[in-house]
Amino acid sequence: MDVRQLQYFLAIVDHGSVHRAAQELFVAQPSVSQALRALERDLGTDLFHRTGRRLVLTPAGERLIDPAREVLRGVELARATVEAVHGLRSGRLVIASMPSQAVSPLAPMISRFRAEYPLVEVSVRAAATPPEVIAAVRAGSAELGVLGAPSLGPELAGLTVHQLETQAFVLVAATEADLPAAGAPVSSDALAGQRLIVGQPGTGMRRVADEILRRSRGSRIAVEIEHREAVLPLVLARVGVAVLSESWRELARSAGAVVRDLAGDEVLRVCLVHRDGRLSPAAAAFLPG
């Protein structure tokens, strides 16, 4: 068993086929197939069931995933530590983030980090919900994770948590005429008849939108969308109004949208998380001071 075989095995797991794994690794497909067969011979067991062109993990393959990620993470940590002896002049930092928190606070954090360490590549992986961020960090596919959740509970056990800020929610519309009269923050029951652009279940914006739908007579969903980057264009096209975290406030205003505060106690507690233990030099440098 060697590191290359484990790397190829995980690429197949992550991308679903030998063909796609080879494409991601920029190697010939036979090389990936041969490495997988050699790994299975060394372990004395099949790691995948082969059903036509599909590969389905066997129980042994499932059990290998976490140890394989640990081995690769250890190799990457060793390489990054040696490279950082003379300063962070290279390397790569992978961060999993929810969309709203990628807008803020992550984007400003990356800007500050890149100003100090311009040769380190930062890769941000999309994760729609807190469990997806946590899963990516636990699995080792991302070293750091940024998430926003109504509370920080036992699902974060075993992770180191850095609380960054608290975000409230805002209502975003194309024009003032699409919202109640300006003044105090808009209450959930003051949006009767509104057409809402909502995110998928499990997100903060969806939870608040569902409360509006429950309390405001005649309000309804116009669009349910997983692509958060499409929300503002839909709002500006007057498809509906949207609930977003306040991290979008300045971006929405700069795009020409109207932003109003929402009444209520619903907030997101934004934090940066990583696994306990030693971090790569790039990840350690990225942590809030």
Would you mind telling me the total number of residues written for the chain in this entry?
A: 289
Provide the pLDDT for residue 101: 94
Average pLDDT, the chain: 88
| Overall domain count for the chain | 3
* Lowest mean pLDDT across 15-24, 139-148, 267-276: 15-24
CB atoms inside a 10 Å sphere around CB 250: 12
Q: Which residue has the higher pLDDT, 50 or 109?
A: 109
Domain final residue pick, 54, 82, 110? 82
Q: Which residue has the higher pLDDT, 50 or 266?
A: 266
Q: How far apart are alpha carbons 36 and 21 in whole angstroms?
A: 11
Residue 205 and residue 178 in one domain: yes
Residue 180 and residue 262 in one domain: yes
What domain range includes position 20?
Answer: 3-82
pLDDT in tens, 118-159: 988 899 999 988 999 999 998 888 999 999 998 888 889 889
Q: How far apart are alpha carbons 59 and 221 in whole angstroms?
A: 42
Q: Which of 90-99, 231-240, 256-265 has the highest mean pLDDT?
A: 231-240
Task: Give the CATH number of the domain where residue 173 resides.
Answer: 3.40.190.10
Token readout for 75 is: 């190799």
Q: How far apart are alpha carbons 280 and 91 in whole angstroms?
A: 9
Whether 89 is in a domain gets the answer no
pLDDT in tens, 68-105: 887 887 777 777 666 654 566 667 899 999 999 999 99
Residue 192 and residue 276 in one domain: no
Domain final residue pick, 82, 103, 134? 82
First-to-last C-alpha distance (Å) of the chain: 40
Q: How far apart are alpha carbons 160 and 222 in whole angstroms?
A: 39
Dihedral in degrees, nearest 10, Cα atoms 129, 131, 133, 138: -170
Whether 127 is in a domain gets the answer yes
